[in-house]
Chains A and B, each alone.
Chain A
Amino acid sequence: MKNSKLSEGEVRHIAKLANLTLTEKEVKKFQNQLNETLAYIEVLSELNTDTVEPTSQVTGLKNVVKEDLVKSSISQKEALSGGKSKHDDYFKVKAVIEK
């Protein structure tokens, strides 16, 4: 494993990717905490995994699908019930740049 010590800039970049706004204090705090955690997980380099396949599913299940049938949806009222900012029957947010 390459020696990983996160810089403040990296923490800020990650926060942006994670859609989190961090204060300067938080950036520093997380930087330290993260580096400590990363140091702990270095322990994995002790194990040789060259010929090992990754496991993302412990169930061993395969090909789980559903039929193409329509089931009832929740009502419009229920769908909108959690939103704080709405207009007519839409959720409303501040304008975002088009994708």
Chain B
Amino acid sequence: MNLNELTVIEAIRGLKERKFSTLELVKDCLERIKKLDSKIKAFVTVCEKEALEEVRGIGDDVPSGIRPLLGIPFAIKDNFCTEGIKTTASSKVLENYFPVYDATVVKRLKSAGAVIIGKTNMDAWAHGSSTETSDFFTTKNPWDFTRLPGGSSGGSAAAIAADMAVGAIGSETAGSIRQPAAWCGVVGLKPTYGRVSRYGVIAMASSTDSPGSLTKSVEDAALILNILAGKDESDATTSSKPVLDYLRGIRGSRGIRGIRIGVPKEYFVKGIKEEVKTKTLEAIEVFKNLGAKIREISLLEPKYSVAVYTILQRSEVSSNLARYDGIRYGNERSYFGDEAKKRIVMGTYTLSAGYYDQYYLKAQKVRTLICQDFEEAFKKVDLIIGPTSPSTALPIGASKDSVMFGELQDILVEPSALAGLPAINLCSGFSKEILPTGVQIIGPHFSEELILKVGYAYEQTTEWHKRKPKL
């Protein structure tokens, strides 16, 4: 087997058992990238030199308690600052930007011994759900090169689906982990807002941005969360809640019998692809057979979340992108792409004189209603399950169809993102076009342990996550 096809857990085990070396593992990934990436274009920067340098430094050491990810190749979304490695957010403004510091997530991965294999492509500034609004190039969906991988963490999702890396890091503002995970058939974990530090992540919407992972299995997501989660002195919005051992939580699980799962009827939106719907219902059946108690619930219509998210996100974006004036770094503002300019203009408008109350303030109030809606729901159920995306991977060019493509595609993930809730995407099957469908599990704040347990149980019972595209 090619070592790049391993999961993180499998690779760690293999290295510990000295079945292969770190060098072999990293080389297999690099070769896979060489073979496929000219077509898939998941990477903005491949860190071959740095990775091999790392490997040399690791020598004969194997993963251990202090460095649990030693030698494991990771792909990192290009909005995470990596010291000395070009970081662009897939934008021409930062096309030659080399950060002088590491994001906290990157620091923790490096402390754990992970090897950065490359920086992945994204929608520029994370503004999108397709990865075709990257200022550089469009990433292709490994399942069908004429289709999009989703976004904005499309590069990371594609890298995992195509086994170009063993683990990958992404970020979600509203859907940017879950949706590309759904379209690419991989596990995408978006932790609770404040569970993982945003320090060093190029900001999109400060009040919802959540770093997370794209992986081949739920166990991998749990292990990575162990390493990334926790309070950071440099990020005032991180939580002091203790970090559990999420991996032990999964393994020590005695099944999901009795867990109450709610299915919001409003999430089966008009226009949802039929197969997405059927696969979601099949997944629910699986949970039922595992002993979970299923009930239909009613949540606020997602269309309100789309409006709230559009206003709040674009307002925060307009402010967060103000620092890019070309003076201290980067190119000046004329280098912004259309999508960025559009969002900045709208966000500036919704915050401006005479319109703040009508838009921004109103959106914040409706956000309260959305949060309360979930709080009420979680009094009756432990978790919420529904489809992740209303469709499977759309064809290249689809994002040009609508002025709000990103926000509309993410209709099913925006409510939970606005409330800061944790959620995971799992592959729930394949359409007749052999495109992955995704199901999402949403939980209350800091319920990652439960979500991962349930996700793991689903994975043990189904085989979807084992399927790979023919490449």
Q: Indicate if A touches B (C-beta under 8 A).
A: yes
Task: Assess A47 versus B327: contact at CB under 8 Å? Given A11-B345, A20-B345.
Answer: no
Task: Assess A43 versus B307: contact at CB under 8 Å? Given A26-B341, A34-B345, A49-B369.
Answer: yes
In angstroms, Cα B326 to Cα A85, docked, is: 9
Contact call B328/A83, Cβ cutoff below 8 A: yes
Task: Assess A37 versus B310: contact at CB under 8 Å? Given A11-B345, A18-B345, A18-B348.
Answer: yes
Q: Mark A69-98, 1 if CB is under 8 A from B, else 0.
A: 000001000110111110000010100000
In angstroms, Cα B311 to Cα A81, docked, is: 35
Using a CB-CB cutoff of 8 Å, which residues 29-73 of chain A contact chain B? 30, 33-34, 36-37, 40-41, 43-44, 46-47, 49, 52-59, 61, 64, 66
Contact call B308/A58, Cβ cutoff below 8 A: no
In angstroms, Cα B364 to Cα A6, docked, is: 22
Residue of B with least CB distance to A93: B327
Contact call B194/A59, Cβ cutoff below 8 A: yes
Q: For residue B368, which residues in chain A have a CB less than 8 angstroms away from its CB? A: 49, 52-55
Q: For residue B348, which residues in chain A have a CB less than 8 angstroms away from its CB? A: 14, 17-18
The yes or no answer to B336 lying at the interface (CB within 8 A) is yes
Taking residues whose C-beta sits less than 8 angstroms from the other chain, chain B's interface range is 35 or more
The yes or no answer to A99 lying at the interface (CB within 8 A) is no
Residue of A with least CB distance to B344: A18
Q: Mark B344-386, 1 if CB is under 8 A from A, else 0.
A: 1110110010010011011111111101000000000000000
Contact of A44 among B304, B330, B403 (CB under 8 A): B304
Contact call A78/B100, Cβ cutoff below 8 A: yes
Contact call B236/A33, Cβ cutoff below 8 A: no
Contact call A55/B334, Cβ cutoff below 8 A: no
Number of residue pairs spanning A and B whose beta carbons lie under 8 angstroms apart: 135
Taking residues whose C-beta sits less than 8 angstroms from the other chain, chain A's interface range is 35 or more
In angstroms, Cα B332 to Cα A21, docked, is: 11
Contact call A49/B236, Cβ cutoff below 8 A: no
Q: For residue B330, which residues in chain A have a CB less than 8 angstroms away from its CB? A: 82
Contact call A58/B193, Cβ cutoff below 8 A: yes
In angstroms, Cα B403 to Cα A61, docked, is: 35
Contact call B345/A83, Cβ cutoff below 8 A: no
Using a CB-CB cutoff of 8 Å, which residues 394-435 of chain B contact chain A? 403-404, 418-420
Contact call A17/B237, Cβ cutoff below 8 A: no
Contact call B193/A37, Cβ cutoff below 8 A: no
In angstroms, Cα B348 to Cα A59, docked, is: 25
Contact call B365/A54, Cβ cutoff below 8 A: yes
Contact call B345/A44, Cβ cutoff below 8 A: no
Using a CB-CB cutoff of 8 Å, which residues 1-22 of chain A contact chain B? 1-2, 4, 6, 10-11, 14-15, 17-22
Q: For residue A91, which residues in chain B have a CB less than 8 angstroms away from its CB? A: 327-328
Determine how close the nearest CB of chain A comes to the CB of B35; give it in whole angstroms: 35
In angstroms, Cα B358 to Cα A56, docked, is: 16
In angstroms, Cα B308 to Cα A57, docked, is: 14
Determine how close the nearest CB of chain A comes to the CB of B350; give it in whole angstroms: 9
Contact call A19/B100, Cβ cutoff below 8 A: no
Q: For residue B278, which residues in chain A have a CB less than 8 angstroms away from its CB? A: none
Contact call B342/A30, Cβ cutoff below 8 A: yes
The yes or no answer to B98 lying at the interface (CB within 8 A) is yes
In angstroms, Cα B349 to Cα A17, docked, is: 9
Contact call B365/A43, Cβ cutoff below 8 A: no
Q: For residue A33, which residues in chain B have a CB less than 8 angstroms away from its CB? A: 342, 403
In angstroms, Cα B322 to Cα A18, docked, is: 8
Task: Assess A61 versus B237: contact at CB under 8 Å? Given A14-B348, A81-B100, A91-B328.
Answer: yes
Contact call A83/B346, Cβ cutoff below 8 A: no
Contact call B365/A52, Cβ cutoff below 8 A: yes
Contact call A82/B404, Cβ cutoff below 8 A: no
Contact call B326/A84, Cβ cutoff below 8 A: yes
Q: For residue B447, which residues in chain A have a CB less than 8 angstroms away from its CB? A: none
The yes or no answer to B45 lying at the interface (CB within 8 A) is no
In angstroms, Cα B20 to Cα A20, docked, is: 54
Task: Assess A41 versus B359: contact at CB under 8 Å? Given A54-B367, A59-B239, A59-B420.
Answer: yes
Contact call B100/A57, Cβ cutoff below 8 A: no
Task: Assess A40 versus B345: contact at CB under 8 Å? Given A52-B368, A78-B100, A91-B327.
Answer: no
Q: For residue A18, which residues in chain B have a CB less than 8 angstroms away from its CB? A: 318, 322, 344-345, 348
In angstroms, Cα B355 to Cα A4, docked, is: 10
Q: For residue B359, which residues in chain A have a CB less than 8 angstroms away from its CB? A: 41
Q: For residue B342, which residues in chain A have a CB less than 8 angstroms away from its CB? A: 30, 33-34
Q: For residue A58, which residues in chain B have a CB less than 8 angstroms away from its CB? A: 193-194, 207-208, 371, 418-420
Using a CB-CB cutoff of 8 Å, which residues 312-329 of chain B contact chain A? 318, 322, 325-329
Contact call A74/B193, Cβ cutoff below 8 A: no
24 A–B pairs (Cβ distance < 8 Å), ordered by A: A14-B345, A19-B322, A20-B341, A21-B334, A22-B341, A30-B341, A34-B346, A34-B349, A37-B310, A40-B310, A44-B307, A44-B363, A47-B304, A54-B361, A54-B364, A55-B371, A56-B207, A57-B207, A58-B207, A58-B419, A59-B194, A66-B233, A74-B100, A85-B327
Which residues in A have some Cβ–Cβ distance to B below 8 Å? 1-2, 4, 6, 10-11, 14-15, 17-22, 26, 30, 33-34, 36-37, 40-41, 43-44, 46-47, 49, 52-59, 61, 64, 66, 74, 78-79, 81-85, 91, 93
List 3 A-B pairs, minimum CB-CB distance, nearest first.
A82-B329, A54-B364, A58-B420
